[in-house]
Structure 1
Amino acid sequence: MRIQAVLAHPLADSFAAAVHRSAVGALRARGHEVVETDLYAEGFEPCLTAAERAAYFDPGYDAAAVRPLLERLQWSQGLVLTYPHWWFDAPAILKGWYDRVWAPGAAFRHDRDGGRIEPLLTELSRVAVLTSFGSPWWLVELYMRNPARRILKRGLLAACARRARLDYLALYDMDRATAEVRRRHLERVEAAMGRF
């Protein structure tokens, strides 16, 4: 499978980066073709430009500024997204990746008459989120109802990649996680990627 592994964390020595490395290693060990995208290391600019927004509904939307990232997305049969949750949401750089790279004409097509979106990421069949929260499980899942996961599944994937299955592996209460808890989580990540 052609898999793009996306990392959204500014620190190379972060636990998210360790999760990313573990995932990539496990995927490659299984024989997958993996391309890595480190949004911070690549200097990705997450802000949708005024010109991009003004042309968003134009038939010939110009995504030239993010063309390499857009081509990686279209190439992908699987995505592995690794990032922490800050304030119950993904880092701004990942939201900007959705805004700029999941672009009209590449990830979806506008139906100007009916207002519907036609999905174009028809090859994308699997998406895994490898994430962490500083908060405990009950606060994220019961009280907040995990808004970022719902937006990804019911919004982005439903609109652009309807066939894609979403897998979700989170480490909750990260702020109090011991070295042993982190080690066991990395083992869970490797096992999950072994089944990808």
Structure 2
Amino acid sequence: MGKRILVILGHPSSNSFCAALAERYAQSALRAGHEVRQLFLGRMNFDPVLREGYQQVQPLEADLRRAQADILWAEHLTLVYPIWWGGIPALLKGFFDRVFLPGFAFKYREGKAFPDKLLQGRSAHLLVTMDTPPWYYRWIYRMPGLHQIRKTTLAFCGIKPSKTLTFGPILGSHAAQRQRWLEQAQSIASH
């Protein structure tokens, strides 16, 4: 029996290599019998700035309400995004700021240091591109754009990252290398 999978493209461009990875992953998951929905953040209409923090409710745009419904529907999330300046793109960060809200993704309780994880029971794959060699990003930079998503965003809300694939350097890569990376994305989606 297949899973309900939500693929989130965190790159603003639908013509990027990230978009190709997201599409290959989604098609492979469909062929494997999973139900798949996709979110292309660059095509969504929303303000990525959480204007007043949590001091004032900022009404969610229709696209963000649909995104929350898709997240609740999903058993598994796949995030596809590039590393820019060592971290995640502003659009993806803004998406998390606006969608992973208290009462939806987590909830603080009086007297408890850590919040309840309201999205518990879900798993995640991360497909991450970069121009830095992945070994350098890991050992020298210590992977801030991966830790931010895996630990302080997904795990904080109860989503368990189960697999991370890093692809790079994209800059200067050749067609055969990109094809191998697409096949890696296809392979993990089919399980």
Q: Name the CA shift for 1:11/1:28 in 2 (closer, same or farther; >3 Å).
A: same
Paired with 1:135 and 1:62, the residues of 2 have a C-alpha distance of 36
Which of 107, 110, 130 in structure 1 is aligned with 2:108?
Answer: 110
1:173, CA displacement in angstroms? 1.1
2:25 is aligned to 23
In structure 1, stretches of 5+ residues that fail to align are 56-60
Q: Distance in 2 between matches of 1:13 and 1:191?
A: 22
State the Cα distance separating 1:29 from its structure 2 match: 0.6
- Shift in Å, 1:98: 1.2
Q: Secondary structure at the match of 2:78?
A: strand
1:64 shift after superposition: 4.0
Give 2:37's aligned residue: 35
Deviation string for 1:97-129 (max 9, x for gaps)? 1111111111111123334211011231x2011
Distance 1:120 1:167 in 2: 21
| 1:10-61, Cα deviation, whole Å (9 max, x unpaired) | 22221111111101100111111111100111233211122x5313xxxxx6
Counterpart of 1:160? 157
Aligned residues: 187
Which structure 1 residue ranges, 4+ long, deviate > 6 Å from structure 2? none
Number of the residue aligned with 1:138: 135
CA displacement 1:124-172 (0-9 Å, x = unmatched): 1x2011111101123201100101211222212232115x233101112
Taking only aligned residues, the RMSD between alpha carbons, in angstroms, comes to 1.7
- 2:12 touches 2:91 (CA, 8 Å); kept in 1? no
Contact 1:63 1:103 survives alignment (8 Å): no
| Residues 64-120 of structure 1: per-residue CA shift (max 9 Å, x gap) | 433222121122110011111111111111111111111111111112333421101
* Distance (Å, rounded) in 2 between the aligned partners of 1:112 and 1:180: 55
Distance 2:137 2:153 in 1: 20
Are 2:50 and 1:53 equivalent residues in the alignment?
no
Give secondary structure in 2 for the equivalent of 1:128: strand
Shift of 1:62: 6.7
Q: Structure 2: any 5+ residue segments left out of the alignment?
A: none
Q: Which residue of 2 aligns with 1:87?
A: 85
